[in-house]
A and B are shown apart, each in its own frame.
Chain A
Amino acid sequence: MSARRLELQASLRLEAFRLEAELDLTLEGVTALFGPNGSGKSTLLRVIAGLDRAEAASIRYDEAVWADSARSIHLAAYRRPVGLVFQDARLFEHLDVAGNLRYADRRSRRNGGGITWEGVIEALDLGNLLERRVARLSGGERQRVALARTILTRPKLLLLDEPLSALDIGRKAEILPYLGSAPRHFGIPTIFVSHAIDEVVQIADRMIVLGEGRVQAVGSVSEILERSDLQSYTGRFEAGSLLEAVVTGQDEAFRLTELSFAGQTITMPMVSFLSVGDAVRLRIRARDVALAKQRPEGLSIRNILAGEVVEVSEEAGTAFAEVLIDLDGPRLRARITRASVSDLELGPGERVFALVKSTTFDRRAISRRQ
Chain B
Amino acid sequence: MPDLAPLWLTLHLALVTTVLLLIVGTPLAWWLAHTRARIKPLVEAVTALPLVLPPTVMGFYLLVLFSPNSWIGSFWVTVTGKTLTFSFSGLVVASLFYSLPFMVQPLQGAFQAIGPRPMEAAASLRASPLDAFFTVAVPLAGRGFLTASVLTFAHTIGEFGVVLMVGGNIPGETRVIAIDIYEKVETLQYGEAHLLSAGLLIFSFAVLVLVYAVNRRGFSHVR
A, B in one complex: yes
Contact of A103 among B125, B221, B222 (CB under 8 A): B125
Within 8 A of A (CB), among B120-148: 120-129, 131-132, 135-136, 139-140, 142
Count residues of chain B with CB under 8 A from any CB of chain A.
24
Asked if A88 and B117 make an inter-chain contact with CB atoms under 8 angstroms apart, the answer reads yes
A88: B residues at CB distance < 8 A: 117
B142: A residues at CB distance < 8 A: 94
Q: Is A71 an interface residue (CB 8 A)?
A: no
Interface size range on A against B: 20 to 34
Cβ proximity bits A75-86 to B, threshold 8 Å, 1 near / 0 not: 011100011101
Asked if A90 and B117 make an inter-chain contact with CB atoms under 8 angstroms apart, the answer reads yes
Q: Is B118 an interface residue (CB 8 A)?
A: yes
B128: A residues at CB distance < 8 A: 78
B132: A residues at CB distance < 8 A: 78
Query: If the complex has contacts A94-B140, A135-B221, are A77 and B123 also in contact, measured as CB distance less than 8 A?
Result: yes
Asked if B125 and A153 make an inter-chain contact with CB atoms under 8 angstroms apart, the answer reads yes
- Closest A residue to B129 by beta carbon equals A78
Within 8 A of A (CB), among B171-223: 219-223
A78: B residues at CB distance < 8 A: 122-129, 132
Asked if A153 and B220 make an inter-chain contact with CB atoms under 8 angstroms apart, the answer reads no
Q: Is A125 an interface residue (CB 8 A)?
A: no
A77 to B127, CA, bound (A): 9
- Closest A residue to B128 by beta carbon equals A78
Q: Is A267 an interface residue (CB 8 A)?
A: no
Instruction: Label chain B's interface by main secondary structure.
Output: helix
A104: B residues at CB distance < 8 A: 125-126
A90 to B117, CA, bound (A): 7
A82: B residues at CB distance < 8 A: 124
Query: If the complex has contacts A94-B140, A135-B221, are A107 and B121 also in contact, measured as CB distance less than 8 A?
Result: no
A94: B residues at CB distance < 8 A: 136, 139-140, 142, 219, 221
A77 to B122, CA, bound (A): 10
B125: A residues at CB distance < 8 A: 78, 83, 103-104, 107, 149-150, 153
Q: Is A109 an interface residue (CB 8 A)?
A: yes
Asked if A153 and B123 make an inter-chain contact with CB atoms under 8 angstroms apart, the answer reads no
Nearest CB of B to A41, in Å: 17
Query: If the complex has contacts A92-B136, A93-B221, A135-B221, are A153 and B121 also in contact, measured as CB distance less than 8 A?
Result: no
Nearest CB of A to B116, in Å: 9
Cβ proximity bits A98-115 to B, threshold 8 Å, 1 near / 0 not: 000001100111000000
Nearest CB of A to B120, in Å: 5
- Closest B residue to A49 by beta carbon equals B124
Q: Is A51 an interface residue (CB 8 A)?
A: yes
Asked if A51 and B123 make an inter-chain contact with CB atoms under 8 angstroms apart, the answer reads yes
Nearest CB of A to B127, in Å: 6
A86: B residues at CB distance < 8 A: 117, 120-121, 124
B123: A residues at CB distance < 8 A: 50-51, 76-78
Asked if A107 and B136 make an inter-chain contact with CB atoms under 8 angstroms apart, the answer reads no
Asked if B120 and A90 make an inter-chain contact with CB atoms under 8 angstroms apart, the answer reads yes
B126: A residues at CB distance < 8 A: 78, 104, 107-109, 153
A91 to B123, CA, bound (A): 13
Within 8 A of A (CB), among B149-174: none
Nearest CB of A to B146, in Å: 14
A84: B residues at CB distance < 8 A: 124
A84 to B117, CA, bound (A): 12
A150: B residues at CB distance < 8 A: 124-125
Asked if B127 and A107 make an inter-chain contact with CB atoms under 8 angstroms apart, the answer reads yes
> Which among B117, B124, B128 has the highest number of chain A CB atoms within 10 Å?
B124
Cβ proximity bits A121-159 to B, threshold 8 Å, 1 near / 0 not: 000000000000111000000000000011001000000
A51: B residues at CB distance < 8 A: 120, 123-124
- Closest A residue to B116 by beta carbon equals A51
A232 to B57, CA, bound (A): 70
- Closest A residue to B141 by beta carbon equals A94
Asked if B118 and A92 make an inter-chain contact with CB atoms under 8 angstroms apart, the answer reads yes
A92 to B120, CA, bound (A): 11
- Closest B residue to A85 by beta carbon equals B124
Contact of A135 among B129, B131, B136, B220 (CB under 8 A): B220
A57 to B153, CA, bound (A): 50
A90 to B118, CA, bound (A): 6
Query: If the complex has contacts A78-B128, A109-B126, A135-B221, are A93 and B140 also in contact, measured as CB distance less than 8 A?
Result: yes
Cβ proximity bits A353-370 to B, threshold 8 Å, 1 near / 0 not: 000000000000000000
A103 to B135, CA, bound (A): 9
B118: A residues at CB distance < 8 A: 90, 92
Asked if B121 and A92 make an inter-chain contact with CB atoms under 8 angstroms apart, the answer reads yes
Give 25 pairs: A residue, B residue, CB < 8 Å, sorted on A.
Answer: A50-B123, A51-B124, A76-B123, A77-B120, A78-B124, A78-B126, A78-B128, A78-B129, A84-B124, A86-B120, A86-B124, A90-B118, A90-B120, A90-B121, A91-B121, A92-B121, A92-B122, A92-B140, A93-B140, A94-B136, A103-B127, A104-B126, A107-B125, A133-B220, A150-B125
Known: A49-B124, A78-B126, A90-B117. 11 other contacts (CB 8 A): A51-B123, A77-B120, A78-B123, A86-B124, A90-B120, A90-B121, A91-B121, A92-B136, A93-B220, A109-B126, A150-B125
Listed from nearest, the 5 A-B pairs whose CB atoms lie closest are A93-B221, A90-B121, A107-B126, A77-B123, A94-B139
